[in-house]
A and B are shown apart, each in its own frame.
Chain A
Amino acid sequence: MSEPIISVKDLTIRFRTDEGLVTAVDGISFDIAPGEVLGLVGESGSGKSVTAKSLMLLNPRNARYDEQSNILLKANGKDVNVLGLKRDKDMRIVRGGAISMIFQEPMASFAPAITIGDQMVEQLLIHTSMTKAAARELSIEMLTRVGIPDAARRFNQYAFEFSGGMRQRAMIAMALSTNPKLLIADEPTTALDVTIQAQVLDLMKDLVSEFGMAILFITHDLGVIAQTADRVAVMYLGRLVETGTVRQVIRDPRHPYTQGLLNALPKIDNLDAPLTPVPGDIPSPLERPTGCVFHTRCPVALEGKCSNEIPAMEPTEQAGHSVACFVARKEAA
């Protein structure tokens, strides 16, 4: 296994709010290998967006990173401790350079009063030493590559002149023009129609194989993960509960939350199956349960143990498949 591009260890993020110190992410660790698509799955309150933003230090000022949190980025042969970056100059190497990000709402990511072309060129000028003309050429080429017809004309248009799907493609083009090692995609297709989503996902898969970059794909949609990811990490209320290859996690889920999530999904190939929700509600981040964060809704929680002790992430008998659950371990044993 080659060295991971980015290595997150014991990441813990808390926010100072009016209601006190709220824990958004609690001690998660994961690696992303070069060229790998890691799907980060979670519902609201799981902390997946906060995690993604912390890779580029994009969290708001009131975020507090724990002492032992560590994010190590291997870029251009060097190791960069992302959490230790203080100066804007250093962060610029990471943001948009080695790591690029695309968001859910493309209208919000493009400046409305500047043409798409100008924004793409600006990104290139910041991160590379290209001339303006070379940047322009590369940008138009990228726009064509992502499937936008008549790219030279579109280059001079504004964001509102693009449709939703095209804006998302343009954002992907912009993100990829600096040839990043890692692309963070935060719910990139959630706001798109399902037919457009299919197009964009196809595009992303093609680009992965062409550019050889890794993707951290954040979503709540397990179907999208099944189609695009190589590995999956499931988050609940700030903790990682299960990781593994996509086949392992979807075909053989070990954690009760993952199982519950898969059971709750309506499946088109089995219309007779009842819809079984995960009982209860996601606790508010102000009231994190003690012990295992999922025990308040877990159908197989062990009395006494699951409410008091936090299960650590441990490998199962399948290589690469790990679960953080006392019950799962017991069953496997």
Chain B
Amino acid sequence: MAWFRRKTATGVDQLAKEAYFTASQGQLIWARFKSNRSAMIALWALVIMVLMGFFADFLSPYNPTVAGRDTTYENGAPQLPKFWDENGFSARPFIYGTKRERSIKTNFRWVMTVDRNQRRYVYLFVKGWKYDVINMSWGIPGTDYGFEYRALTLDRHLFGVNQGQIHLFGTEASGKDIFSRTLHAVWTSLAVGTLGVLISFVLALIIGGVAGYFGGWIDSILQMITDAIRTVPPIPLFMAFAAFMPDTWSSETRFFFISIILGLIGWPTLARRIRTHLLTERSQEYVLAAELCGASSAHIIRRHLLPSFTSYIIVDLMISFPYMVRSETALSFIGLGLKDPVNSLGALMQNVSKADVLLNYQWYFIPVIFFIALVLAFVFVGDGLRDAADPYSGHNK
């Protein structure tokens, strides 16, 4: 994409010019996006986090549920591997062993002591807890019908120690590894967000699309419906749902339900945007030109309207993501969404609000950093995309 680098005005070579002339809108948008440094950094961060979430099982040394907790290291501080200490250098990173004891001296509270002479070495690709790569279980809530399919069980993990356990981000009150929980939480939040965005997108596309394409009274009615849904306050709604959801539901069902609800109340904003794009594009002269050839509505939608707002829609989707993730997190944080022991960023953040934690166990905040990073990455990528997708009308005379 030579034409977007800084160069003097007369140094344009013929090949680069020709490439610019024959570049489709998609290629132009990508080239503009790449030249936006903050957007590219955000994109990399986003990709890394998504991959971390995707490979969460492989990357987490321990099972994030109760099954994987470390009873000897509850509320433990983060253990960062070292290469060197007063006992010498080691090519293989290590952490220290710990002992927990309780006695009258410590007022019968568990006290952790670090034994700097006992080294636990970190190994790569260790055997650990079993996890299923393909894991699908669907259940219809309130009934016994369900569908479960698990396959491809592996037990390799990226790293681990030869004795005891390693907790990169520390542990929380019941001994669960925060690092493992965080990775799984990122994935859960992304999954809820994706599902929510998908549902709202499909609804928005249909409703906004029909309203924008046909206009007139159809548009007026649909707009009234859209506005009505938009005025529904989410917190009371979720409070009602939280009360309604029976405890017997599995966490997956809850998760699914939350996503659906988020999607159902999130579509109005997207629908409005789609409608606006359609209304503008529809009155463009090249659409009129196609109509004058006798093109059918289907042809116009397919060939002119859809491609023209694909770029807008991708931007809108990208920007909806952080709202979904934030909504789920916020709701879970106040207890109306996913609860402990489910791993979601919001659920993890629930534990943070206690004074005890704030004073003594600051490492509980690490998932918060991930949450902020995830949302910011989405926002920056969305902004970068929106700037890049600004149509070529900027080049008009």
Query: A21 near B4 (CB under 8 angstroms)?
Result: no
CB distance from B13 to the nearest CB of A (A): 11
Query: B10 near A290 (CB under 8 angstroms)?
Result: yes
CB-nearest residue of chain B to A20? B7
Q: Does B12 contact A (CB under 8 A)?
A: yes
When chains A and B are docked, how far (Å) is the Cα of A132 from the Cα of B8? 52
Of B7, B9, B32, the contact of A288 (CB 8 Å cutoff)? B9
Q: Does B35 contact A (CB under 8 A)?
A: yes
Of B9, B32, B35, B397, the contact of A20 (CB 8 Å cutoff)? B9
CB distance from A284 to the nearest CB of B (A): 10
Within 8 A of A (CB), among B65-87: none
Count the A-B residue pairs with Cβ separation under 8 angstroms: how many? 25
Query: A18 near B10 (CB under 8 angstroms)?
Result: no
Query: A23 near B4 (CB under 8 angstroms)?
Result: no
Within 8 A of A (CB), among B156-207: none
When chains A and B are docked, how far (Å) is the Cα of A20 from the Cα of B35? 13
CB distance from A49 to the nearest CB of B (A): 11
Of B3, B9, B35, B397, the contact of A22 (CB 8 Å cutoff)? B9
Most buried by B among A21, A22, A285: A21
Q: Does A45 contact B (CB under 8 A)?
A: yes
Contact mask B327-357 → A, CB, 8 Å, 1/0? Answer: 0000000000000000000000000000000
Query: A44 near B397 (CB under 8 angstroms)?
Result: yes
When chains A and B are docked, how far (Å) is the Cα of A21 from the Cα of B10? 9
Within 8 A of B (CB), among A28-62: 44-45
* Set of chain A residues within 8 Å of B8, measured between Cβ atoms: 20-21
CB distance from A215 to the nearest CB of B (A): 24
Query: B3 near A288 (CB under 8 angstroms)?
Result: no
Contact mask B1-42 → A, CB, 8 Å, 1/0? Answer: 001101111111000000000000000000010010000000
CB distance from B49 to the nearest CB of A (A): 29
* Set of chain B residues within 8 Å of A18, measured between Cβ atoms: 4, 32, 35
Q: Given A18-B32, A18-B35, A19-B4, answer yes or no on A286-B12 (Cβ-Cβ < 8 Å).
A: yes
Q: Does A287 contact B (CB under 8 A)?
A: yes
CB-nearest residue of chain A to B20? A19
Contact mask A180-223 → B, CB, 8 Å, 1/0? Answer: 00000000000000000000000000000000000000000000
* Set of chain B residues within 8 Å of A286, measured between Cβ atoms: 9, 12
* Set of chain A residues within 8 Å of B397, measured between Cβ atoms: 44-45
When chains A and B are docked, how far (Å) is the Cα of A286 from the Cα of B8? 9
Q: Given A44-B397, A45-B397, answer yes or no on A19-B3 (Cβ-Cβ < 8 Å).
A: yes
When chains A and B are docked, how far (Å) is the Cα of A22 from the Cα of B7? 10
CB-nearest residue of chain A to B10? A288
When chains A and B are docked, how far (Å) is the Cα of A44 from the Cα of B395? 13
Q: How large is the interface on B (under 10, 10 to 19, 20 to 34, 35 or more residues)?
A: 10 to 19
When chains A and B are docked, how far (Å) is the Cα of A174 from the Cα of B355? 65
Query: A23 near B9 (CB under 8 angstroms)?
Result: yes
* Set of chain A residues within 8 Å of B7, measured between Cβ atoms: 20
When chains A and B are docked, how far (Å) is the Cα of A131 from the Cα of B10? 55
When chains A and B are docked, how far (Å) is the Cα of A23 from the Cα of B7? 13
Query: B10 near A287 (CB under 8 angstroms)?
Result: yes
* Set of chain A residues within 8 Å of B9, measured between Cβ atoms: 20-23, 285-288
* Set of chain B residues within 8 Å of A20, measured between Cβ atoms: 6-9, 11
CB-nearest residue of chain B to A44? B397
CB distance from B34 to the nearest CB of A (A): 12
* Set of chain A residues within 8 Å of B6, measured between Cβ atoms: 20
CB-nearest residue of chain B to A290? B10
CB-nearest residue of chain A to B5? A20
Within 8 A of B (CB), among A295-324: none
* Set of chain B residues within 8 Å of A45, measured between Cβ atoms: 397
When chains A and B are docked, how far (Å) is the Cα of A195 from the Cα of B32? 46
When chains A and B are docked, how far (Å) is the Cα of A288 from the Cα of B12? 11
Within 8 A of B (CB), among A208-249: none
Within 8 A of A (CB), among B205-262: none
CB distance from A264 to the nearest CB of B (A): 18
Please report B residues at the A interface, Cβ cutoff 8 Å: 3-4, 6-12, 32, 35, 397
Q: Would you give 25 A-B contacts (Cβ < 8 Å), ordered by A?
A: A18-B4, A18-B32, A18-B35, A19-B3, A19-B4, A20-B6, A20-B7, A20-B8, A20-B9, A20-B11, A21-B8, A21-B9, A22-B9, A23-B9, A44-B397, A45-B397, A285-B9, A286-B9, A286-B12, A287-B9, A287-B10, A287-B12, A288-B9, A288-B10, A290-B10
What 14 additional pairs, Cβ within 8 angstroms, besides A20-B9, A23-B9, A287-B9? A18-B4, A18-B35, A20-B6, A20-B7, A21-B9, A44-B397, A45-B397, A285-B9, A286-B12, A287-B10, A287-B12, A288-B9, A288-B10, A290-B10
Closest 7 CB pairs of A and B: A44-B397, A20-B7, A20-B9, A21-B9, A20-B6, A22-B9, A286-B9
